[in-house]
């Protein structure tokens, strides 16, 4: 079974905060400016700018604890084992794009695990892009 690794590409995410320097136990002006710029970045990302990321398979779903997956269903109504990189059991998924009219549905939901989950599609030769979360 292939293992899918979650790629954190930073798209739609707030950047990491690095250490802030203090002088004699006090925050410097440069440190204060840095903290303020990061706070502004957080506010900007949250106020109507939550993102699903770049939409590229295996990448993190922007600000959300989820992952983009592109999957090809060769056969209709056949359970497929789909690897994910969440390192926890998924709680669901959202179909974002489809190559043709089709319905994707759960398979073996009780067996979903920290490495993979199971889906079926009612239409053969269908490609879907989904976010698993």
Residue 16: inside a domain: no
Query: Could you tell me which of 20, 51, 54 has the C-alpha nearest to residue 36?
Result: 20
Q: Give the tokens for residue 87.
A: 């390192």
Residue 83: inside a domain: yes
Three-class SS of residue 94? strand
Three-class SS of residue 42? helix
DSSP codes of every residue in 46-79: HSS----TT--TTBB-TTSS-EEEEEEE-STT--
Residue 121: inside a domain: yes
Question: Can you give the pLDDT at residue 18?
Answer: 76
Residue 45: inside a domain: no
Residue 114: inside a domain: yes
Report how many domains make up the chain: 1
Residue 108: inside a domain: yes
pLDDT band at residue 2 using 50, 70 and 90 as cut-offs:
low
Instruction: Give the whole-angstrom CA distance, residue 126 versus residue 46.
Output: 34
Over 90: is that where the pLDDT of 13 sits? no
Residue 2: inside a domain: no
Over 60: is that where the pLDDT of 1 sits? no
Specify the pTM.
0.76
List the single range of 44-48, 64-68, 87-91 with lowest mean pLDDT. 44-48
What is the mean pLDDT of the segment spanning 18-32? 82
Residue 98: inside a domain: yes
What are the pLDDT digits (tens) for 73-105?
A: 999 999 999 999 999 999 999 999 999 999 999
Instruction: Give the whole-angstrom CA distance, residue 133 versus residue 66.
Output: 4
Exposed/middle/buried for 24, CB within 10 Å: 0-12, 13-18, 19+? exposed
**What domain range includes position 96?**
67-132
């Amino acid at each position: 079974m292939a293992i899918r690794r979650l790629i954190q590409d930073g798209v739609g995410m707030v950047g990491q905060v690095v250490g802030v320097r203090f002088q004699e136990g006090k925050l410097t002006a440069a440190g204060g400016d840095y903290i303020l710029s990061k706070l502004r970045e957080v506010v900007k990302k949250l106020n109507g700018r939550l993102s699903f990321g770049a939409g590229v398979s295996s990448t993190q779903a922007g600000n959300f604890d989820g992952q983009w997956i592109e999957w090809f269903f060769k056969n209709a109504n056949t359970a497929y084992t789909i690897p994910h990189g969440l390192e926890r059991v998924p709680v669901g998924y959202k179909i974002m794009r489809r190559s043709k009219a089709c319905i994707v549905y759960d398979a073996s939901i009780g067996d979903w695990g920290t490495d993979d989950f199971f889906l079926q599609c009612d239409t053969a030769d269908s490609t879907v892009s989904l976010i698993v979360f």
